[in-house]
Amino acid sequence: MILDRFSVVGKVAIVTGAGLGIGRGIAIGLAEAGADVALAARTESDLEEVAARVRSIGRRALVVPTDVTDAAACEHLVILTVEEFGRVDILVNNAGGAMPRAAMDTSEGFMARTFAFNVTAPLTLTKLAARRMVDTVGAGAVVNISSRSASMTQTMFVAYGAAKAALDRMTRNIAPELAPRVRVNAIDVGGVATRSLDIVLTDDTLRRQFLDGTPMGRPGEPEDIACAVLYLVSDASSWVTGKVFDVDGGTEAPAMTVTAPILTPTPGSPADS
């Protein structure tokens, strides 16, 4: 049966950023499809809530508080997962993000931290998990949760957009190196109804602007992303690797913009007259 190819029964998944929002939705979705899940994020209390939900479904859950920008913590996460479950089949690099910041206010440090969180950390975990996937079960799948900011022009997102574009390119470049045993794909996510979008969805004017800019007429839900992840980590996509999928409600331009300050001459400079 074709639906059998979407099953992940008996498989083990690592999900980062699993405490809230999209990561939480992905972890619960994979558990509902049959996977046991190692849950990673910085806030243990959030992870414990998700673990309780996973266990209520009848699947096993492992809580591992993790700062993914710490390579040793990433290694610890993968080691504990294999010790607990005996294998690892799936990695979802969901942890990431950066606050909006004007380009002229973006420091080298902010840029470096944004790349460390959104690019270097997923690369580190992908390498660690891929080795254990091949050594324990012979194969596996990685999904990087990226953003439509990677391919859209957006003011105030110079660091975040550049980092997610790099994550997409990393996905494409690493995939042929890990094929055919480990498949690597990415999802460019649009506006999803999580805590980070609350400021938009709770303001009538901003919400209308957002919905008018989204062809599907609604924000995404974490489960929308979880469904795409399930496809990409299951045998249903066994001939798919090195691809970036847009899951964004049909948007081809930013549904909203954050206005950047206008660049003007410095007071007292020759051009300030």
Q: Are 55 and 78 in contact (CB under 8 A)?
A: no
Say whether 231 is catalytic.
no
List the catalytic residue out of 85, 117, 160, 245: 160
- Distance (Å, whole) CA 258 – CA 18: 27
- Distance (Å, whole) CA 122 – CA 41: 13
Element (H, E) at 114: helix 108-115
Amino acid of residue 101: R
Q: What is the DSSP letter of 70?
A: -
Secondary structure tally for the chain: helices H, strands E: 9, 7
Beta bridge partners of 128: none
Residues acting as catalytic residues: 160
